Amino acid sequence: MKKTLFSLAIAASALLSLAACSTKSETSDVNNFHIQRGTNLSHWLSQSEERGEARRQHIQEDDFNRLESLGFDFVRIPIDEVQFWDENGKKLPEAWELLTNAINMAEKHHLRTIVDLHIIRSHYFNAVLEGKGDQNTLFSSEKAQQDLIEMWYQLSDVLKGYSNDSVAYEFMNEPVADDHEQWNDLIIKVHKALREREPQRTLVIGSNMWQSYETIKYLKVPENDKNIILSFHYYNPMILTHYGAWWTPIGKYTGKVNYPGVLVSKEDYEAAPDSVKQLLDENHYTTQVWDINKIREDFKDAIAAAKKYNLQLFCGEWGVYEPVDRELAYKWTKDMLTVFKENNIAWTTWCYDADFGFWDQKKNDFKDKGLVDLLTEK
């Protein structure tokens, strides 16, 4: 009888072990939110004046089907406060419906989703560049910080039903705090607030000053939380990736750009206006060699931070402005993809269908098939 009871106990223990192994990752320490290759669905629920039917039609199920068939495994969806809440903090229902529909379609097509709170009324990453720096009150106002937390409470109320393996939250895009500790302090506040609501949701946390690779070494990550992804953005060299971009100072340069190698020749430098020469000097564009080894060097601090915290590393934005010479764009893209692969860095291109993208929604066709073939390794 004792032998029988002992055998039954062993069998029961084995069944419990099997059950534990098959339980969804929400009950384990680390989520199964693994990502590799994605794109930003930008200028839709963020940085766009589209409303009504135009906004409803902008992203449809065939977009998610296309991304799945191309081999992408996730999307980053930037959202803006002005599209989701009015000035009194009241929800604007249609945007919320569009977001949840998008997540549902992403899940249907085996794509994970990062919901990125991109621009809020108290913080816009380009405010200083546009002479609106006084509008960035987030890091000096307790109320603005509590408003940010309240926005995430409301987002969590709507999104918490989605699997931790399917949906992640990026609680703010490209912070521009005057002091790195201001951003670190806010991280602690928002992290604590979200963890009280959702103990295991994957959170994406980026570095200060436009999510720069240069500042990630100053980032302080909440301890003992393995459901965090570290994020940085990379558009260097800007003179190449943003060539002709009207909203950037370096976009005023109209001479030739070389890549790989020294980006601007002495002849092109001499032909540039004095104001542009200053930018070229400040960024060492006439002396620094830019190539794959420069990219590797730039990524070192980000890679070291991910190893330090034993967390996944993610480049949330990178890409080349549409008017840039395609040969240069492809050379840079190839080098970026190589470095990503060498270091197991997940990425989302900026972007899917806007001015850095590869898809043309109006023509319903690829506007840059060469780029998408590179990205998908065709």
Instruction: Read off the pLDDT of residues 342-372 as tens digits, 9 standing for 90 and up.
Output: 999 999 999 999 999 999 999 999 999 999 9
Report the pLDDT value the prediction gives residue 28, as an integer from 0 to 100: 52
**In this predicted model, what pLDDT tens digit does every residue of 46-58 receive, in sequence order?**
999 999 999 999 9
Higher pLDDT, 288 or 24: 288
**In this predicted model, what pLDDT tens digit does every residue of 299-324 receive, in sequence order?**
999 999 999 999 999 999 999 999 99
Report the pLDDT value the prediction gives residue 10, as an integer from 0 to 100: 37
Counting residues of the chain whose pLDDT is more than 90, the rounded percentage is 89
276 alpha-carbon distance from chain centroid: 30
**Is the predicted pLDDT of residue 373 greater than 50, yes or no?**
yes
**In this predicted model, what pLDDT tens digit does every residue of 148-169 receive, in sequence order?**
999 999 999 999 999 999 999 9
Report the pLDDT value the prediction gives residue 127, as an integer from 0 to 100: 86
**In this predicted model, what pLDDT tens digit does every residue of 96-133 receive, in sequence order?**
999 999 999 999 999 999 999 999 999 999 987 777 77
Measured CA to CA, the distance from residue 329 to residue 319 in angstroms comes to: 9
**Is the predicted pLDDT of residue 15 greater than 70, yes or no?**
no
Which tokens go with 179? 């002091």
Measured CA to CA, the distance from residue 44 to residue 55 in angstroms comes to: 7
**In this predicted model, what pLDDT tens digit does every residue of 321-341 receive, in sequence order?**
999 999 999 999 999 999 999
Query: In the predicted model, what is the mean pLDDT of residues 63-72?
Result: 98
Query: In the predicted model, what is the mean pLDDT of residues 18-27?
Result: 38
Report the pLDDT value the prediction gives residue 25, as an integer from 0 to 100: 39
Report the pLDDT value the prediction gives residue 45, as an integer from 0 to 100: 98
Give the chain as a 3 state SS string.
Answer: CHHHHHHHHHHHHHHHHHHHHHCCHHHCCCCCCCCCEEEECCCCCCCCCCCHHHHHHHCCHHHHHHHHHHCCCEEEEEEEHHHHECCCCCECHHHHHHHHHHHHHHHHCCCEEEEEEEEECCECCCCCCCCCHHHCCCCCCHHHHHHHHHHHHHHHHHHCCCCCCCEEEECCCCCCCCCHHHHHHHHHHHHHHHHHHCCCCCEEEECHHHHECCCHHHCCCCCCCCCEEEEEECCCCHHHHCCCCCCCHHHHCCCCCCCCEECCCHHHHHHCCHHHHHHHHHCCCCCCEECHHHHHHHHHHHHHHHHHHCCEEEEEECCCCCCCCHHHHHHHHHHHHHHHHHCCCEEEECCCCCCCCCEECCCCEECCHHHHHHHCCC
Peptide bond preceding 351 in cis form (omega within 30 of 0): yes
120, β-bridge pairs: 123
**Is the predicted pLDDT of residue 8 greater than 50, yes or no?**
no
